[in-house]
Structure 1
């Protein structure tokens, strides 16, 4: 008689070699790898995906920036009452009537309006005075200036334009701020996605704290590098660099936190899709160098959905308007950050309940085995057999 005892399969130790770790991660990084198993099918699918992404980028950016037209421009007007009444009857402008030229200027500097037009009384030396703020968007400033010129032509008089928030000489187009926000958001979103793959799913309180610390430190470093570049290399910072750093850091925390929450709930694929939406729709709906009120109604509606518009407005308020009208953008960015935290906590709660249900189900099976073993005269022998390795007699 030969007795062969079956025991639990021995768990093989994972070899701690770089080659093995690279293979687990998808292949060594020093080559392109052996290629896909279904070469041509995946080639077609991958090509279609890239083409659709490129087409989405082209469609979004060309639709937003290709034909800038004044849309929902808000103007303060003061002066000749008859002319103001005529302007209000047109219905093409959003007008706020103020009592004096000083209040019209103040409304522009407080970011209550996009520009102001002071209408003179009828006379030979009448001049239409237009106040713009290029810091709120160069294209928007040019559009407001053009509105003032057209009013002067209707009144058959001359016009003059004063820029109350001019752009710096080293950033005459106002594009550097847009790119700063663009790459702060993109870097935060990609960082949150990559960190999720490296550190693993946030499923415990310790991992939640770990990911939060990593995100705070990373976005701080990202904001610091961007601020250093646009200040020292480009000379585009007009105020204390610390204020610009704070805006970029808040942007990174809001976007990175939101993507972290999405990844915790829906995985890496959901995080990548969120990042694509931010790149394709979020950047364009911010208005870029043009300003939000040169976009169509679709992108103006998206301005309140994605965070880049608030970040850009906040940065412009700090740079050119002495911190005017910053509460709204800060609140909306904070909502994005808090939403990320809530999504992460919800994902942790869902996983915790699933694990508890699995443990309870496993305990139920063990109880059934115990009751089955104790239900016969040979109960003790059966119970002992549950923990004893099986023996095979040859």
Structure 2
């Protein structure tokens, strides 16, 4: 239980921005000044990219190249955010820009380029959906593993379950919670893939290593995958190597793909899809191996 407390509490307590990609647009002198101020205020917190104008920065936000940014103009700075990408980053960037503008007495204008739905302006539903997806992979894997059916039957049952669970979870988060506003079927496909990645991997581990392999895989998903997913904040709020570990596991990859599909027309989802595919294929490969002999 102490391990569980550490796994779930430590990432939240110690969360801080690390190389969060943001943009700055405007004249070169203003861009250099804002970049220097950001680096001085929070060293290592932001990875700043320069853009020619507000339109270019806005396009980069919609393509998930950056989380947001600051536009420098003679009338004062404008903060561009994307709360759908991360409300925590949006708040952090706005607070930083407000602190910088106080020196000149001007309050920056704030524009949310890709906002969260009005029904869930804090994105709580999306962040809370990752743990049920993890449990949704572990519980049926345990049942199927203990049932001891033939490989084809197990694989068919797991596939049907993943689809039904994905459709059900997506319906709750999309229609009931109002936390997503993309294509329902695309969101269901992401949740199905996330569940299937963990489910197939656990079944494969059980086939070659028995309950020890299943327990190890389940512990990794619960104690590493879920708390390191960055679903409630952003992956960049975890220090290395925890950020990389979290995004290499189904909950972290699934949460980022879900954001991309629900709010950004799928932009920036390639890496997450690859991670989910690797986990699912690895599980299928293990299922193709001879079963572990029972002692």
Q: After TM superposition, is the score higher than 0.5? A: yes
Tell me the residue number matched to 2:54: 101
SS in structure 2 of the partner of residue 104 of structure 1: helix
Whole-angstrom distance in 1 between the partners of 2:209 and 2:102 = 58
Q: Which has the larger radius of gyration?
A: 1
Whole-angstrom distance in 1 between the partners of 2:261 and 2:130 = 14
* Aligned ranges 1:303-322 → 2 under 5 Å: 303-322=246-265
Kindly state the Cα deviation for residue 166 of structure 1 after the two structures are TM-superposed: 1.3
SS in structure 2 of the partner of residue 317 of structure 1: helix
Whole-angstrom distance in 1 between the partners of 2:191 and 2:280 = 14
Matching of residue 157 in structure 1 with residue 114 in structure 2: no
1:121-169 deviation per Cα after TM superposition (whole angstroms, max 9, x unaligned): 4xxxx31111111111211211122222233235553311111121112
Kindly state the Cα deviation for residue 346 of structure 1 after the two structures are TM-superposed: 3.1
Could you say if the C-alpha distance between residues 347 and 155 of structure 1 is closer, same or farther in structure 2, counting changes exceeding 3 Å? Answer: farther
Tell me the residue number matched to 1:14: none
Tell me the residue number matched to 1:344: 287
1:281-306 deviation per Cα after TM superposition (whole angstroms, max 9, x unaligned): 11111113212222233431322331
Kindly state the Cα deviation for residue 119 of structure 1 after the two structures are TM-superposed: 1.5
Whole-angstrom distance in 1 between the partners of 2:233 and 2:48 = 21
Q: Which structure 1 segments of 5+ residues have no match?
A: 1-53, 201-206, 352-394
Per the normalisation by structure 1, the TM-score is 0.68
Kindly state the Cα deviation for residue 267 of structure 1 after the two structures are TM-superposed: 0.8
Match of 2:136 among 164, 187, 191: 187
Matching of residue 198 in structure 1 with residue 198 in structure 2: no
SS in structure 1 of the partner of residue 5 of structure 2: helix
Could you say if the C-alpha distance between residues 88 and 145 of structure 1 is closer, same or farther in structure 2, counting changes exceeding 3 Å? Answer: closer
Whole-angstrom distance in 2 between the partners of 1:256 and 1:279 = 13
Match of 2:122 among 173, 176, 179: 173
Whether contact under 8 Å (2:248, 2:275) holds in the other structure is no
SS in structure 2 of the partner of residue 134 of structure 1: coil
Match of 1:325 among 256, 268, 273: 268
* Aligned ranges 1:5-44 → 2 under 5 Å: none
Per the normalisation by structure 2, the TM-score is 0.90
Kindly state the Cα deviation for residue 193 of structure 1 after the two structures are TM-superposed: 2.0
Matching of residue 57 in structure 1 with residue 24 in structure 2: no
Whether contact under 8 Å (2:128, 2:232) holds in the other structure is no
* Aligned ranges 1:313-392 → 2 under 5 Å: 313-348=256-291
1:15-60 deviation per Cα after TM superposition (whole angstroms, max 9, x unaligned): xxxxxxxxxxxxxxxxxxxxxxxxxxxxxxxxxxxxxxx2112112
Whether contact under 8 Å (2:134, 2:226) holds in the other structure is no
Could you say if the C-alpha distance between residues 67 and 208 of structure 1 is closer, same or farther in structure 2, counting changes exceeding 3 Å? Answer: same
Match of 1:134 among 83, 103, 118: 83
1:51-104 deviation per Cα after TM superposition (whole angstroms, max 9, x unaligned): xxx211211222111243222111111113223223445353311111111000
1:349-376 deviation per Cα after TM superposition (whole angstroms, max 9, x unaligned): x76xxxxxxxxxxxxxxxxxxxxxxxxx
Tell me the residue number matched to 1:283: 226
Could you say if the C-alpha distance between residues 83 and 245 of structure 1 is closer, same or farther in structure 2, counting changes exceeding 3 Å? Answer: same
Count of equivalent residues: 287
Whole-angstrom distance in 1 between the partners of 2:180 and 2:64 = 20
Q: Which structure 2 segments of 5+ residues have no match?
A: none
